[in-house]
Amino acid sequence: MFCINCVEQLMIKKIMFSYQTLFNFTQSVFEKIGLTEEEARQAADILMRAELRNISTHGLMRLPEYINLWRNNRITTTPVFKVVHETLSTALVDGGKGLGLVTAPKAMRLAIEKAKTAGTGWVAVRNSYHYGIAGYYAMMALKEEMIGISMTNANPLVAPTFGLHGMLGTNPIAVAIPAKKQPPFVADFATAPIARGKLDILEEKGLDAPAGLLQDREGNLTTQSGILKESGSLLTLGGSPEKGGHKGFCMTAIVDILSAVLPGANFGPTVVPTLGYVKDKTSGEDKGIGHFFGAIRIDAFQTADEFKQYMDQWIESFRKAETIPGHDKVIIPGDPERISEKEKLENGISVSKQTLKKLEKIANDLEIPFFA
């Protein structure tokens, strides 16, 4: 008898996996390359949180890149986490050439600890590498009744206003703010107008990028979604100055300075790229990329309960806002990702065939069991 459900299940089986299956595999990869069990679990949690939150550009598809960095001795999997200098509310951390996935959770916990006594805690990190989704760290503050802040610099793909070449990263900021009855406000966004990963997807599908976001190596505007691989660059958020693009430049620059200049990591154009996008320019010292974390104890200002009620009012007033034709609601930052987490935990996570192939190769190379 023909079973439509079985066929569907069979089709789904090829690309859908349970959260736990993927988590376990990811953890085993990290353990195999030298992370402790606890660090590997933590790193897997960050990547899998990206998958759950539908930010797959920062999930499993990053594993090959991390393995590459490790094979090429660009990172170590046994880094020494060193507090170089500290005050009551601050610390400068040297990540010891470790992955951000290892160093960043410790740095954010340090910020939270500082905030417990000083009201706020601020930790700048140098000598680190890719740390996954910025939002993960900001959200660590939520259960402590704190506002969490997280930012990082990255590969130079964004041209400053009037600049010809990519000199700044897509430099994300995340801010997580607790509410009472409402779920928390969680903004987690690249300060550039479009994520690199989204351009990859458009390119794969043979689609153009929206107008006004990209320029080629001569500085001509282009909609060619693959242009970053051909020495093109992203414009800043806002685009041209008449539309406020110089404000986007300011935002991206501020993230670069707080994340990299303040701790003494490689800043803007001196970041040694981790990707095939930017030509390797390994001249100069490699002090890694940098991150900046903040934890603000709510009751360092007003009582947490009062604030959270007030935050409910904020969220509700935007939730019930009148909308423009064709849209039924204003989206509260963090809502789509939270809905996605619930859905994917229940129904599983889809992995593209391309990524699966790369993960299988990793499993073979590292001699660990593959899940598919």
**SS3 category, 339:** helix
152 interacts with its own copies by CB under 8 A: no
238 interacts with its own copies by CB under 8 A: yes
Q: Which is nearer to its own copies, 99 or 311 (CB)?
A: 311
Give me the count of residues in the chain: 372
Burial of 65 (0-12, 13-18, 19+ CB in 10 A): middle
Let me know: does 138 contact 123? Beta carbons within 8 Å. no
297 interacts with its own copies by CB under 8 A: yes
Nearest distance in Å: CB 142, its own copies: 14
301 interacts with its own copies by CB under 8 A: yes
197 interacts with its own copies by CB under 8 A: no
Structure tokens belonging to residue 34: 């030298």
Nearest distance in Å: CB 316, its own copies: 11
270 interacts with its own copies by CB under 8 A: yes
CA separation, residue 244 to residues 25, 42, 216, 360 (Å): 45, 39, 21, 45
Given candidates 19, 70, 314, 370, which one binds its own copies under the rule CB under 8 A?
314
Nearest distance in Å: CB 314, its own copies: 5
CA distance 30 to 104: 16
Q: Which is nearer to its own copies, 67 or 104 (CB)?
A: 104
285 interacts with its own copies by CB under 8 A: no
Closest of 372, 48, 287 to residue 40, by C-alpha: 48
CA separation, residue 346 to residues 21, 183, 338 (Å): 13, 19, 13
180 interacts with its own copies by CB under 8 A: no
Pairing mode of beta strands 233-234, 214-215:
antiparallel
Nearest distance in Å: CB 304, its own copies: 11
Q: Which is nearer to its own copies, 298 or 362 (CB)?
A: 298
Site for its own copies in 54-83 (CB under 8 A): none
Which range touches its own copies (CB under 8 A), out of 67-75, 101-109, 246-254, 356-364?
A: 246-254
Cα–chain-centroid distance for residue 16? 23
Site for its own copies in 156-175 (CB under 8 A): 159-165, 167, 175
Given candidates 14, 71, 82, 85, which one binds its own copies under the rule CB under 8 A?
85
Given candidates 267, 337, 344, 348, which one binds its own copies under the rule CB under 8 A?
267
Nearest distance in Å: CB 232, its own copies: 12
Q: Which is nearer to its own copies, 64 or 212 (CB)?
A: 212
Given candidates 143, 243, 281, 342, which one binds its own copies under the rule CB under 8 A?
243
Beginning with the edge strand found earlier in the chain, give each strand of the sheet holding 82-86 in spatial order.
82-86, 90-98, 120-128, 289-297, 146-152, 172-177, 185-190
Which residues partner with 175 through β-bridges? 149, 187
**SS3 category, 110:** helix
Closest of 166, 110, 170 to residue 134, by C-alpha: 170
Let me know: does 140 contact 108? Beta carbons within 8 Å. yes
Nearest distance in Å: CB 302, its own copies: 6
Given candidates 61, 111, 158, 177, which one binds its own copies under the rule CB under 8 A?
177
Site for its own copies in 100-129 (CB under 8 A): 117-120, 122, 124
250 interacts with its own copies by CB under 8 A: yes
